[in-house]
Amino acid sequence: MTDEKHALPAPPTEGLFLGKIDEESIYPFPEQDPDEKEIADMTVAAFREWADDNLDSEKIDRDQEIPESVRRQLGELGLLGATVPEEYEGAGFGTTSYCRLVEEMCRRDASLSVFLGAHLSIGAKPLLLYGNPEQKARYLPGVATGETICAFALTEPGSGSDANAMRTTAEWDDAKGVFRLNGNKIWITNGSYAELFSVFAKARGARGNGPGAFIVRRGQKGFSNGPSEHKLGIRGTATTELAFQDVEVAPEDVIGEIGEGFKIALETLETGRLSLGAGCTGGSKECLKMAVEHATERTQFRKTIISFGMIREKLSRMAAHTYGSESAVYLTSGLIDRDHRTLPVEAGYCKVLGSETLWEVVNDTVQVVGGIGYMEEYPYQRSLRDARINLIFEGTNEILRLSGTLEALKEPSHAVTARLKAEKAGLGAEGLEQAMGAIAGQAATVPRWVPEVIAVEGECFAAAVTAFSAKVVDVLRRHRRRILGQQYTLRRLADGAIQLYAMLAVLSRVSTRIAAVGEERSAKEILLARRFIEEAAVRVHHEVEAIETPRDGFDDQLAELLGEEGRYPAPLF
C-alpha cells in the first residue's frame, strides 16, 4: 500500500506552485469507464424523467420542506445509495458518476441536491471511509435504500471552520463501558429527520483522548434536535440544532480510532466540496439556459437583446466560466477515480471556483432578464437565494483559499529553504541549482500535447505558470515561516492557483477532444477554451502583480478605523 501511494503522481496544483507541469498525469482528460458511464447515464436520465413528473421546486421552496414522499421516491430510485458499495445494496458509484448525479439534481432543485449531499457526500461518508466491516454491514444497507437518512454533525456555536475550538465532549464512563456525549451542534442539514448522525467530539478518559467520530441514532436517550431554521435559500432543507445530554455511545459505534476525528472530518469534506462544485456547475448551466432563452425572445428597439454587445458579453462570460468550472471538477473527479487517491486542495479549489462562478452567473442571469428577475413568481429569484450559501458552507471560500494554498506551498517552501541554506554555506552555482530542485527559476513550457490550433492559449498558460511560480519563490524567500500570517498574499496566490488549475483542466479537456474527433468537430470547445483561458491568464497576472501592494496597508488601516468607530468613518453632513 505504501509503495502504491508513493508511486502516485504529485497533485496537479503542487506542480503549478513549483512551475512544473506533470503532463502525463493529466492528459488525456479522464474518461469514465464505459460500463459505469452507461449506468450513470441511465441513473441521471431516470432522475430527470422522475423530476419532470414529480418535482415541484416552487412548492418545496414555499413550504420550506422536502416532502417525505419525495425523499422516499429518491430512495426507491436508488439515488440515496449512489456511492454505497454494491455489497451493501448501493449503486457503487465512483466520484465522477456521483458528481454527475449531483450536477443534474442541482439543475432541478438546489435543496434536493443539498439534502443528497448531507446524506451521502458527508453524512454517510465517515462510515464509508473508516467504518469497520461490522458497522458497514449494520448501517449501510439502510443508508442505500433511504430507510436510514444520514447527517454530519461538526459545526458548533463557537466553532465553524475552526474545528479545534470544538467543545462537544465524549467522556468515557468506565462503569457502563460507554462514551457520554455532551454538547451542541448547529446548522445540521437533515437534522429534523435523519436517523443516523456522524458526530464529532473530543474524547476524554481511559479509552483515549482527542477528537473522535461517533455514531448517534435518532431516539437515543438524551439526543434531541431543534426546529428547522428559516433560511434565505435552500429553504427545502431541514437545518437544525442538535443537543446531546449524556448520550451513551458504545465503543462499537466509534468510527475509526479516537484521535482520528479531524482527519476523518477533513477527508469527508473533500467529497462534499468536490460534489458541491459539480452541483454549482449544474446550477450555472441551468441559469445560462434561462438567460439565453430570455435574450433570444425579448425584443428592445426592434432587436432581440441577444444582439446587443453588453448582453453578448455576459452570456459569453457565463458560458466560458461554466466550462472552466466544469473542466476543473471533472479533471479532479477523474483523477480521484483513476488513481484511487485524495486531492483535498483541488477539491477545495473546485468548490471555490464552482460556487463563485455560479454566483456570478446567477447575478448576470437576473441582469439579463431584467425586472422579472426580481419577481417572486419567476424562478430567477429562487436561484439567486439558493446560490448564496455555496460560498459559505462545506468550509468558507476564505478558509479553503488559505488551507489549500498553505498545503500547496509546502514543497516549494522546502526547496526555498534548501536554497537559502545552500547560499549560506557558500555552495557554487551547481550546488545552488541542486538545492533549489524543481523551482530553479526556469520558464514553464507549453504541454507537448497542446495542438497547434490552441497553441496561443498554451503559451498564455505557460507564461502565467512561469510568472506565478516565480512570485511564489519571491514570496517564500522574503517571508519564510511568516507566510502563515500573510493573508492578503495567500489570498492572491490562491486566486492565481485556482485560475491556473482551471486553465490546465481546460487545456487537457479540449486537447483530448481535438485528438479524438478533430478540430472541426471540436469548434465549440475550442471557442469556449479560448474565451476562458484569455481571461484567466489576465486574472493570474493581475494577482501576481498585485501581491503586497500599498492597498494592503490601506486595508489594514481602514479595518482598524472601522473597528474603532463602528460605522462609516467619513460622514458628509
Q: Which residues does the annotation mark as catalytic?
A: 394
Selection from 335, 270, 277, 327 nearest residue 26 by Cα:
335
Other C-beta atoms within 10 Å of 269: how many?
Answer: 24
Q: Contact at 8 Å (CB) between 200 and 186?
A: no
**What are 293-297's contacts with CB under 8 Å, separation 24+?**
294/368, 294/369, 295/368
Q: How far apart are CA 214 and CA 226, in angstroms?
A: 20
Q: How far apart are CA 396 and CA 135, in angstroms?
A: 31
Q: Contact at 8 Å (CB) between 498 and 490?
A: no
As beta bridge partners, residue 196 has 150, 217
Grid coordinates belonging to 428: 557554487
- Secondary structure in 3-state letters for 548-566: CCHHHHHHHHHHHHHHHHC
Q: How far apart are CA 439 and CA 432, in angstroms?
A: 11
Could you identify the residue written with the cell 462503569? 175
Measuring CA to CA, how many Å separate 407 from each of 2, 17, 402, 466?
21, 11, 9, 20
Residues 6+ apart with CB under 8 A from 223: 216, 242, 243, 244, 245, 247
Q: How far apart are CA 493 and CA 17, in angstroms?
A: 9
Residue 213: what are its φ and ψ, rounded to 5°? -115, 130
Measuring CA to CA, how many Å separate 262 from each of 265, 266, 340, 565?
5, 6, 21, 39
